[in-house]
Amino acid sequence: MKFFYQNQGPANPIEIKRNFMRASNYPVSSSFWTEFWSEGHTTTFGAQLPANYQGELQAHWRRWAERLKDNELVFDLASGNGALPCLLQSISQGMKVNLYANDIAKIHKLERLTQKGITFYEETDSTQIPLPEGSVNHFVSIFGFEYSEMEPTLSEVKRLLKPGGTFNVICHHSQSKVVTEAHQMSELLKQLLVSNVLNDVRQHTLNKSPDKKQLLDRTITKKIQRLKQDFGSAIQFSGLNQLFKKIYTTQLPEQKIVDEITLYTVQCENQIRRLFHLHSSVLNEDSLESFVSISERLGFKNISGKLVKENNDVIGINLSFSNLLSC
């Protein structure tokens, strides 16, 4: 698959600009997830949630885990670096729960999860899980189920769920605050790259002429002010402040500054790809209707979809069903 961005070599701002013009044809792949997980993040929210899920998202799984019984097999779909199995493990301490997970990407330090007793299938699509029929008691997922194709994934769930087994997942929803914020961040990062301000900073570093430096200073200030005007407080989550702090308040050698700018540019590009993937996976009224009709066709019962809220904001949708007990 050909990316519209290539990660090799230093970023070329003109190419970046040109590529953004073709952004509507963004292809989706897993390599940008592999890169993200290789940075060691716990959850998909990266530095914003460094430990693990908190608040209502954590509370949901605490309530859910109360029904767990000893020796049951719980499978987390599209687990990333294993946030949910790790959370479930800490919640269900004292119980013997068999935790399994998959992800289409390569994950960070697989042996770390294996040592904790979690069986992880990396580079494995949720539609093709290498377990025998009827071996799973519970499927769970947090912002993961919706990333794979719905019908083949639900068919795979049907194949693997034991009679009486359950499915309980939290997905991105079109009304969610998380999705709105992700959209804003994606627009901000695109604008940041298109404005060429990172190239101005690079030129500012390399240029020896004080006049030229002063001119570039003014250009950079103007462009950043414009971004602040258009995107307000979102800029504080873009990592730009940290980049500027690093390159302007520490005495880094020229080449190190250029490297930092290149690294940040590549990280922005990857984040845009991940956010694009998020947007193409968000559940809306149509996809929820499909979820219900496919689940009914597969014979699942007690099919339900409930918005997950925190401080009155929608932050996701909780989908669930159960598999019929055999007679």
Question: 141 forms bridges with which residues in the sheet?
Answer: 169
Position among 100, 120, 139, 147 found at the interface with ligand SAM (CB under 6 A): 147
d(CA 317, CA 139): 16
Query: How far apart are CB 182 and ligand SAM at their closest, in Å?
Result: 10
- Alpha carbon separation from 303 to 127, 131, 146, 219 (Å, rounded): 20, 24, 16, 56
Residue 156 binds to ligand SAM (criterion: CB under 6 A): no
* Cβ-based nearer residue to ligand SAM, 147 or 264: 147
Show the tokens assigned to 74.
């719980």
Can residue 276 be called a binding residue for ligand SAM (CB under 6 A)?
no
Q: Confirm or reject binding of residue 182 to ligand SAM (CB under 6 A).
A: no
Per DSSP, 10 falls in state S
Binding residues for ligand SAM, total number by CB under 6 A: 20
Instruction: Kindly state whether residue 148 participates in binding ligand SAM, applying the rule CB under 6 A.
Output: yes
Binding mask 72-111 for ligand SAM (x = CB under 6 A): ------xxx--xx-----------------xxxx------
**Residue labelled with tokens 């904001």:** 313
CB 129 within 8 A of CB 57: no
CA angle 285, 288, 294 (to 5 degrees): 140
Per CB under 6 A, does 316 bind ligand SAM? no
Query: Of the two residues 102 and 168, which places its CB atom closer to ligand SAM in the complex?
Result: 102
Q: What does the alpha-carbon distance between residue 96 and residue 101 come to, in Å, rounded to a whole number? A: 16
Q: Taking contact as CB under 6 A, which single stretch among the options 86-94, 137-145, 184-192, 195-203 is the one that binds ligand SAM?
A: 137-145
**Helices of type H across 24-74:** 31-38, 55-65
How far apart are alpha carbons 47 and 210 in whole angstroms?
A: 37
Instruction: Give me the residues that bind ligand SAM (CB under 6 A), please.
Output: 30, 33, 43-44, 78-80, 83-84, 102-105, 125-126, 142-144, 147-148
